[in-house]
Amino acid sequence: MSIKILIVGQGNLCDHYGGGQVYGRNLIAGLLDSAYNVEYLSLVYSTVSVSQHHVETTLGVLTRQLILPVSWKDTCAGQYASAVEALASAYRDIAPDIIHVHGWKELACLAADKTGIPCVVTAHHGGIVCPAGALLNHRDEICNVAADQKNCQPCCVCSIPGGKLWLPLLRKTPFVAQMRLGRWLRAHHFLYFITPLGTLALSISDKLAAIETLGRYATRLIAPSRAIRDALVRNGIPSIKVVVVSHGIPLPQRQPLRPDLRKELVRFLYVGRISHVKGLHVMLEAFSTLPPEGYELHIVGGAVTKPEQRYLTKLQQRYTSVNAIWHGFRSHEVIPQHIAECDMMVHPAIFLEVFGLTIAESLAVGRPVIATRCGGAEDQIRDGENGLLVPPNDAVSLRRAIKSIIDEPARLQTMAKQTVDVVTVKKHVQELVKVYIQAVDDGVKTGRPS
């Protein structure tokens, strides 16, 4: 079946922040290699007075940028409908058979409903159903409850400096009063601390409404792992709409482990964002009590946002005893080489990791992985066979796993032989297209076109 596919994303295809951008480029390349008709559409808000289109070719695919007036972001001003209609108009011009959404999810689904075009949404991170953004609660545990005002308020307030001190007052303030205050503050100029705290209940309410929108208007939701599937269903997404499709990667060349591992120190590798939710502090704490002459820890990744930069500085100042080499940001094209130069990857995430592309890439190169039971890892790692699984946010268990490898590096050779079961981009595209065709053939629309 010949179908035209529109990929809706957030930002430029060449962006390098996070695995979502890497996945998007891999997916589009895979669709093009399989000779599918595919276009890419991104949205951006600007100071323009009316919506505008910008069209170019990027990475071999026709890309469109829909530029919307910044005022159209303001739901209080009743302009959200204008943004929906502008995006729906773009859909009509492109005329795809299926829309696959990776960014601006609620807006994209509402616009799809306007046109009657089936709409598939991929859940790239926990923020799709989490007001706090990562399905990580205020105790730094992976969240396993449904989002609501009571459950989410303690987690969301942690993102506001000093916000936890005000939690008892928020608990005693009637919800109606919090919502009224939030609407008033949102309609006025931003005030440091006051606006985030005062609009907290409204922000949670917005996320709950967004979840309801996805459940109602998305034709299908792609869950890259069983863990995020369970989170979607737990938060009210109809289970019949959720399909588990593991991400695929371009297979890098497999590389043999060093034959002299028994004589050399073991080289461990971390690849990813320098972010609290990624658990680098847990990883460094685990390494800090190990003799530095037994290992090297290579850390590849950049700190982009100000909180990430502060986190990076804190880690480098605190864990000076760790035998760590900080490589900083590296383009994704050279990551397989970094993996090949090391012996084992460490994936210490403490939040719900929806998939974990770097885990798949490490296994594909032929390197076992020590990972936390963070969701996506459990779908890729067979404990004791192609890697080791430990509880999240548990430096003692992680240290024990690392030390077992340092003490007996020959285990790496055995594990490396099991690192062959990795989903390719080609296989991923085949599975994804089945979902596309089912959505088109079944006529399971997100709603009636207006």
Taking the C-alpha atoms of residue 402 and residue 397, their distance in angstroms, rounded to an integer, is 9
Residue 314 has pLDDT above 80, yes or no: yes
271 & 335 share domain: yes
306 & 165 share domain: no
pLDDT digits (tens, 9 = 90+) for 320-341: 999 999 999 998 889 999 999 9
Query: Domain for residue 304, yes or no?
Result: yes
Query: Domain for residue 47, yes or no?
Result: yes
396 & 281 share domain: yes
- pLDDT-derived band at 445 (thresholds 50, 70, 90) equals very low
- pLDDT-derived band at 114 (thresholds 50, 70, 90) equals very high
47 & 70 share domain: yes
270 & 324 share domain: yes
- Residue 389's alpha-carbon distances to 139, 276, 338, 372, 381, in angstroms, are 21, 20, 22, 5, 7
Query: Domain for residue 256, yes or no?
Result: no
If you average pLDDT over residues 372-400, what whole number do you get?
A: 97
In total, how many domains does the chain have?
Answer: 3
pLDDT digits (tens, 9 = 90+) for 177-209: 999 999 999 888 899 889 999 999 999 999 999
- Predicted pLDDT at 449: 42
Query: Domain for residue 136, yes or no?
Result: no
Supply the range of the domain harboring residue 287. Answer: 266-416
- pLDDT-derived band at 157 (thresholds 50, 70, 90) equals very high
320 & 397 share domain: yes
- 8 A C-beta contact, residue 412 and residue 343: yes
394 & 410 share domain: yes
Identify the sign of the CA torsion 205, 208, 213, 216: negative
pTM metric for this prediction? 0.93
Beta strands in 234-330 (DSSP E): 242-244, 266-271, 295-300, 324-328
SS3 labels along 151-194 = HHHHHHHCCCCCHHHHHHHHHHCCHHHHHHHHHHHHCCCCCCCH
Taking the C-alpha atoms of residue 122 and residue 377, their distance in angstroms, rounded to an integer, is 18
Query: Domain for residue 244, yes or no?
Result: yes
117 & 155 share domain: no
Strand partners, 346: 370
Query: Domain for residue 219, yes or no?
Result: yes
Taking the C-alpha atoms of residue 241 and residue 237, their distance in angstroms, rounded to an integer, is 7
Query: Domain for residue 449, yes or no?
Result: no
Mode of pairing for the β-strands spanning 4-9 and 98-101: parallel
333 & 307 share domain: yes
Q: What is the CATH number of the domain that holds 91?
A: 3.40.50.2000
210 & 161 share domain: no
- 8 A C-beta contact, residue 28 and residue 13: yes
153 & 24 share domain: no
Query: Domain for residue 16, yes or no?
Result: yes
